[in-house]
Amino acid sequence: MQRFLDPVVLAGISSLDLLAKTVVDGFVAGLHRSPDFGFSQEFAEYRAYVPGDDLRHVDWNLFARTERCYLKRYRGETNSQLTVLLDASNSMRYTSGPPPKMDYARFVAASILYLAIHNQRDAAGLIVFDDEVREYIRPSRRQGQLTRLFAGLENAEPRARTNFGGPLEHFQALLHRRGLAIVISDFYEDPEVIVRTIEPLRFHGNDVVLFHILDPQELRPELKGPAILVDLETDREIEVIPEYTKTTYRTKIDSHIEQLRSRVQGAGMDYHLLLTNQPLDSALREYLSLRKAAN
């Protein structure tokens, strides 16, 4: 089933719904059911009463029939709220091969949203932003929420520039309830600015995860000769020589990633680097582990 998580294969699936289902089902089929028990409505098993157990959990109906004390146990369940903040700036349009960063970000977002709503029964919402909040879908578990979320993702075409500072206020206003916030972006900004912008979300009790989407060519660009590079967001052009990309650029991008990871983790958030040629399961696994930690 792993091959269904391959981004190249997923790029051929036009429907986000189907894509998310394929990813999540494939992912879940490889997982073991959680051994934790909780307080959800889903019955798990009966267990004989032992001294010290809370009497509130005794199944009195069963005691009435059998005169024996059994405790009724349920599967663990939380009511987490998941909000995906998706960067839809022009820089996300970059690609060196299928899929583009934007599509990959959509796949990640769709898979996580599907997993949250369909499997975890969490309330899930979506914020699409560039230099402002372009779309906001309130977190909900209502019927049709998943469809709305997917429609929001479909409409999230890259444009404009990234500006974390602008939509910040909206984030804080929108994420007033404790939950899980996943920021998906290529984070072409000073790590200090990024952390300073996103850190306030943490103050509301949210668990914040940064999914850093990068194309492999952005990590190790290949230039066969001097080339003119144009910035997708600013349209600025400069001439770059291969020697630079082979040496200085690599140092800079590696430093940026490391700095971002360090700063983000220093601020109590999680950071996860996703390359567009990697399978999606690492993102899903990250989500589940965070959700478990939150409970």
Partner 1 sequence: MGFLSPWFLTGLAALGVPVFVHLLRKHVTTPRPVSSLMFFERGIQSSTRHKRLRYLVLFALRAALVLLVVLAFAAPFIRRPASDANGRLFLIVLDKSFSMRAGTRFADAKRQALATLAAKPHAQKAQVLALGGQLEMLTQPISDQAQLRSALESIQPGDGRANFGELGRSIRTMSETVKTPIDLHLFSDMQRTAMPANFADMVFPPNVTLTLHAEAKGTAPPNWTIERLSAPPELSDPKDPKRSHVQAVVAGFGTPAVEKTLSLLVNGKSIASRKVNVPANGRITVDFAPIDVGYGFNRCEIKIEGSDAFPADDASIFVIRRSDPERVLFVHASNDTRSALYFGAALEATGQTSFVLQSVSAEQTTDLDPSKYAFVVLSDAVTLPSIFEHALAQFVSKGGSVLMTLGTNAGRHARIPLWGADAKDVHDYARTIGAATVSQVDFTYPALLQEQPERDNGGWAEAKFFYAASVDPGQARVAARLNDGTPLLLDKQQGEGHILLFTSGFENLTNDLPLHPVFVSFVDKAARYLSGRERLTGSQVVDSFVQLRSNAAPIGEVASVEVIDPDGKRPLSLGEARTVQTYQLRRAGFYQVRYANGRDAAIGVNPDRRESDLQPMADDVQQLWSGSGNTAPPQSSSANVTDEAKYRRVNLWWYVMLFALAVALAETVLASSYMATQREEA
Query: For partner 1, which is the closer residue by CB, 68 or 220?
Result: 220
How many residues comprise the chain?
A: 295
Based on the shown chain and the rule CB under 8 A, indicate whether residue 231 belongs to the binding site for partner 1: yes
Joined together, the tokens standing for residue 110 give 């769709």
Contact 81, 125 (CB under 8 A): yes
Query: For partner 1, which is the closer residue by CB, 151 or 227?
Result: 227
Contact 58, 71 (CB under 8 A): yes
- Strand, helix or coil for residue 209: strand
To partner 1, the closest distance from the beta carbon of 76 in angstroms equals 41
Residue type, 117: I
Query: For partner 1, which is the closer residue by CB, 55 or 228?
Result: 228
Based on the shown chain and the rule CB under 8 A, indicate whether residue 29 belongs to the binding site for partner 1: no
Based on the shown chain and the rule CB under 8 A, indicate whether residue 258 belongs to the binding site for partner 1: no
When binding is defined by CB under 8 A, the residue of 103, 207, 233, 281 that contacts partner 1 is 233
Q: Site residues for partner 1, window 73-102 (CB under 8 A)?
A: 91-94, 101
To partner 1, the closest distance from the beta carbon of 15 in angstroms equals 27
Based on the shown chain and the rule CB under 8 A, indicate whether residue 211 belongs to the binding site for partner 1: no
Range 229-265 burial, b when 16+ CB lie within 10 A, else e: eeebbeeeeeeeeeeebeeebeeebeebbeebbebbe
When binding is defined by CB under 8 A, the residue of 45, 132, 243, 258 that contacts partner 1 is 243
- In terms of DSSP H, where are the helices of 6-142? 7-10, 16-28, 60-66, 101-114
Closest by CA to 109, choosing from 152, 67, 69, 76, is 152
Contact 285, 278 (CB under 8 A): no
When binding is defined by CB under 8 A, the residue of 240, 267, 273, 294 that contacts partner 1 is 240
Joined together, the tokens standing for residue 124 give 């899930």
- Strand, helix or coil for residue 282: helix
Joined together, the tokens standing for residue 218 give 């952005």
Tokens 């990697």 correspond to what residue? 278
When binding is defined by CB under 8 A, the residue of 13, 62, 160, 223 that contacts partner 1 is 223
Based on the shown chain and the rule CB under 8 A, indicate whether residue 219 belongs to the binding site for partner 1: no
Q: Site residues for partner 1, window 114-143 (CB under 8 A)?
A: none
When binding is defined by CB under 8 A, the residue of 130, 218, 281, 286 that contacts partner 1 is 218
To partner 1, the closest distance from the beta carbon of 242 in angstroms equals 5
Residue type, 147: T
To partner 1, the closest distance from the beta carbon of 181 in angstroms equals 23
Q: For partner 1, what does the binding mask look like between residues 169 and 188, x meaning CB under 8 A?
A: -----------------x-x
Rama region for 197: left / alpha / beta (φ>0; ψ in -120 to 50; rest): alpha
Based on the shown chain and the rule CB under 8 A, indicate whether residue 242 belongs to the binding site for partner 1: yes
How many residues line the site for partner 1 (CB under 8 A)? 39
Based on the shown chain and the rule CB under 8 A, indicate whether residue 225 belongs to the binding site for partner 1: yes
Residues forming contacts to partner 1 in the complex (CB under 8 A) are 91-94, 101, 186, 188, 215, 218, 221-234, 236-246, 248-249, 252-253, 256
